[in-house]
A and B are shown apart, each in its own frame.
Chain A
Amino acid sequence: MLSPQTPITKPVKLSVRDMDFRYGEKKVLDGLSMDIQAERVTAIIGPSGCGKSTFLKCFNRIHEVSSAVKVTGDIKIDGVDIYRGGIDEVDLRRRVGMVFQKPNPFPKSIYENVAFGPRLFGVKDRTTLDGLVESALRKAALWEEVKDRLKESATGMSGGQQQRLCIARALAVNPEVLLMDEPCSALDPIATAKIEELIFELKENLTIVIVTHNMQQAARVSDYTAFFWLGKLIEMDLTERIFTTPRERMTEDYLTGRFG
């Protein structure tokens, strides 16, 4: 639907080669390789426990916040290795934003949530901040709903609004890539539809990688789809092709609900 009939191939934004991910003794991801194109939406699907969320978190190294893990192989952003290429994780995370499974606004005002990122990078000027906040909220299609209550606490918003606020917060630092880890799993259908619409608009100038266990969602929003199973990449192709004529038997079985 959204994927063009004859895709114009975009430059590769993120490339992964022979990547293993170990958590303690356990190998969670095994020999992964794939290319993710710029300004496209790439969906990652697969049964729970297949390592799709873990994979996503490797792109901004956010898993390092909570635990010691071991990643081998290469992950490159614009051709630069993000683990060994001299980028530190703080820089990386500014360029690679993330939206989490459950909305996680800070217990601050709506305005402060969005202004948080720019402030981290030394933006102090009030007018500049105001502009950044407004533009990020507009991009997240939230501005009209909250412009009169920017000073109110973000924790009082509905779940869908909170999630769009988290998207706005991520957008405010002008990332090149946006990682979305099952962003709608805690939301109702209407809120989900809004976020999906947003994803479609955002890919104009953003590379989006979205993990979802909702296959319809992957079909609706993504240009490319990758199917993971037990820590391995089984198949990756244009979304249309994956959902109509998958090459692998396993993909077909999963999509038709024979396991998963």
Chain B
Amino acid sequence: MPHAPDTLLDLPSSTTQTVPEGPALEAASREPAFRHSRAQRLADRWAHLVFLACGLLVVALIGGILYFLAARGVGAFIPLAGNTDKVLTLREVFLSTNWDPNAGKFGILPFIAGSLTVTGLALLIAAPTGILASIFIAKIAPNWMKTLMRQVMDLLVGIPSVVYGIFGLMVVLPWVSGKWLSDSPAAGFAVSAAILAVMIVPTIVSLATDAFESLPLSLDEGSQALGSTRWQAIWHVLIPAARARLLTATVLGLGRAIGEAMAIQMVIGNNPQWIALMRQSTDQTPVLRLLFTPAATLTTELVQELPNTAAGSTWNNVLFAMGLLLYLMTMLIILATRRLSQRREA
């Protein structure tokens, strides 16, 4: 960057200035002055701060969400100003399966268990199929099929959760109930997990495909040059080499699954007492009972009950505590993926 003397910087045009003398002036008047105006220099200096501020806003948001959710959620356990209702012990909330707000019972264990169950089942379907599909895309499919599969995944990830929900509600539930359950209702973990699996599979496929495609071709060649079949190369060399990134893909799929609300809320049956109900009924095998008992999760219960509660009530505060729990899980998941990628680099 040319550094002109400061006096020249203020020179807007030759007409307003007293006429300088010497050869420097002649050059300046004949050629346009290729200099940055003071405004440009200031803008350059300040731009940095403006962009930084945008970044800091994101940091502030992360903290802000934590602060506000905690401020409300903690109110369930500690008497805060504005609290109108009784406070609870951690034990009553996190270690109890009894959710009956009207009787003052706020055990959220059924929702935690529900979230873990539906997420676990969805991952059980989505992780293997997603990783296999990514192997297909990265290593076996011809180019036209790669493109087609990518588009299929793009579309699947773009479908809104309420549309998944309505599909489950209007198509899957009646079909499952008519075909398999002799017309008893099908709402519960099975259908929720199946729909959730379709929703998270594009995330897993996209990250796992990246993982396989970023492996050097020389690994594939090295294995096949020894006389391995293509599948042996994939199974014995490529999958172990991509392990950390495949795990990251699965963990991020888990993150998406655990936070999904609307689609599951529409098909899971919304029954906070699902654990008790499951224990009582004896007419099916335990597995079937688990799969088809109407249940609830952290997210579905929030959607279901938040609109009906008054701010500051214990009920409301416990719901915010559930939101805080979800947020902390998200942070944990992101930190876990960080650890995984550090291990990969090491």
Binding site for B on A (CB under 8 A): 60, 62, 65-66, 90-95, 97-98, 100, 102, 104-108, 116-117, 119-121, 166, 169-170, 173
Q: Is A121 a contact partner of B227 (Cβ separation < 8 A)?
A: yes
Interface residue from B220, B226, B230 paired with A169 (Cβ < 8 Å): B226
Q: Is A93 a contact partner of B224 (Cβ separation < 8 A)?
A: yes
Q: Is A60 a contact partner of B225 (Cβ separation < 8 A)?
A: yes
- A120 vs B235: C-alpha distance in the bound complex, in angstroms? 11
Q: Is B223 a contact partner of A62 (Cβ separation < 8 A)?
A: no
* CB of B241 closer than 8 Å to a CB of A: yes
* CB of B22 closer than 8 Å to a CB of A: no
Q: Is A93 a contact partner of B226 (Cβ separation < 8 A)?
A: yes
Q: Is A106 a contact partner of B237 (Cβ separation < 8 A)?
A: yes
* CB of B236 closer than 8 Å to a CB of A: yes
- A107 vs B222: C-alpha distance in the bound complex, in angstroms? 12
* CB of B218 closer than 8 Å to a CB of A: yes
What residues of chain B lie closer than 8 Å to A104, measured between beta carbons? Answer: 216, 218-219, 221-222
Distance (whole angstroms) from the CB of B239 to the closest CB of chain A: 11
Contact string against A for B residues 193-236, beta-carbon threshold 8 Å, 1 for contact and 0 otherwise: 00000000000000000000000111111111111111010001
Of chain A, the residue at the smallest CB distance from B220 is A65
What residues of chain B lie closer than 8 Å to A66, measured between beta carbons? Answer: 217, 220-221
Given the interface pairs A65-B217, A66-B217, A116-B236, the reply to whether A106 lies near B223 with Cβ below 8 Å is: yes
What residues of chain B lie closer than 8 Å to A120, measured between beta carbons? Answer: 226-228, 232, 236
Q: Is A116 a contact partner of B221 (Cβ separation < 8 A)?
A: no
* CB of B63 closer than 8 Å to a CB of A: no
Distance (whole angstroms) from the CB of A54 to the closest CB of chain B: 14
Q: Is A94 a contact partner of B240 (Cβ separation < 8 A)?
A: no
- A98 vs B216: C-alpha distance in the bound complex, in angstroms? 17
- A218 vs B8: C-alpha distance in the bound complex, in angstroms? 68
- Output the residue of B216, B223, B237 with the most chain A CB within 10 A: B223
Q: Is B225 a contact partner of A62 (Cβ separation < 8 A)?
A: yes
- Output the residue of B222, B223, B224 with the most chain A CB within 10 A: B222
Q: Is B241 a contact partner of A173 (Cβ separation < 8 A)?
A: no
Distance (whole angstroms) from the CB of B206 to the closest CB of chain A: 22
> Can you list 30 contacts pairing A with B, beta carbon distance less than 8 Å?
A60-B225, A62-B221, A62-B224, A62-B225, A65-B220, A65-B224, A65-B230, A66-B220, A66-B221, A90-B224, A91-B227, A92-B227, A93-B225, A93-B227, A94-B227, A98-B225, A102-B218, A104-B218, A104-B219, A105-B222, A106-B240, A107-B241, A108-B240, A116-B226, A117-B227, A117-B228, A120-B226, A120-B232, A170-B226, A173-B227
Given the interface pairs A65-B224, A94-B227, A116-B226, the reply to whether A107 lies near B217 with Cβ below 8 Å is: no
What residues of chain A lie closer than 8 Å to B237, measured between beta carbons? Answer: 106, 116
Q: Contacts A66-B221, A104-B222 given; 10 further ones with Cβ under 8 A?
A: A65-B224, A66-B220, A90-B228, A100-B221, A104-B216, A104-B218, A108-B240, A117-B227, A117-B228, A120-B226
Binding site for A on B (CB under 8 A): 216-230, 232, 236-237, 240-241
Interface residue from A90, A97, A102 paired with B229 (Cβ < 8 Å): A90
Instruction: How many A-B residue pairs have C-beta atoms within 8 angstroms? Tell me.
Output: 72
- A216 vs B226: C-alpha distance in the bound complex, in angstroms? 29
What residues of chain A lie closer than 8 Å to B236, measured between beta carbons? Answer: 116, 119-120
What residues of chain A lie closer than 8 Å to B240, measured between beta carbons? Answer: 106-108
Q: Is A173 a contact partner of B226 (Cβ separation < 8 A)?
A: yes
What residues of chain A lie closer than 8 Å to B226, measured between beta carbons? Answer: 93-94, 97, 116-117, 120, 169-170, 173
What residues of chain B lie closer than 8 Å to A116, measured between beta carbons? Answer: 223, 226, 236-237
- A107 vs B221: C-alpha distance in the bound complex, in angstroms? 14
Q: Which 6 A-B pairs have the closest CB atoms?
A: A94-B227, A104-B218, A98-B225, A93-B227, A104-B222, A117-B226
Of chain B, the residue at the smallest CB distance from A89 is B224
- Output the residue of B216, B223, B225, B241 with the most chain A CB within 10 A: B225
Q: Is B225 a contact partner of A170 (Cβ separation < 8 A)?
A: yes
What residues of chain A lie closer than 8 Å to B230, measured between beta carbons? Answer: 65
What residues of chain A lie closer than 8 Å to B225, measured between beta carbons? Answer: 60, 62, 93, 97-98, 100, 170
Of chain A, the residue at the smallest CB distance from B217 is A66
- A171 vs B275: C-alpha distance in the bound complex, in angstroms? 61
What residues of chain B lie closer than 8 Å to A106, measured between beta carbons? Answer: 219, 222-223, 237, 240-241
- A102 vs B229: C-alpha distance in the bound complex, in angstroms? 22
- A90 vs B226: C-alpha distance in the bound complex, in angstroms? 8
Q: Is B222 a contact partner of A100 (Cβ separation < 8 A)?
A: yes
What residues of chain A lie closer than 8 Å to B229, measured between beta carbons? Answer: 90
What residues of chain B lie closer than 8 Å to A119, measured between beta carbons? Answer: 236
What residues of chain B lie closer than 8 Å to A173, measured between beta carbons? Answer: 226-227
- A98 vs B228: C-alpha distance in the bound complex, in angstroms? 13
- A48 vs B74: C-alpha distance in the bound complex, in angstroms? 70
Q: Is B222 a contact partner of A166 (Cβ separation < 8 A)?
A: yes
What residues of chain A lie closer than 8 Å to B227, measured between beta carbons? Answer: 90-95, 117, 120-121, 173
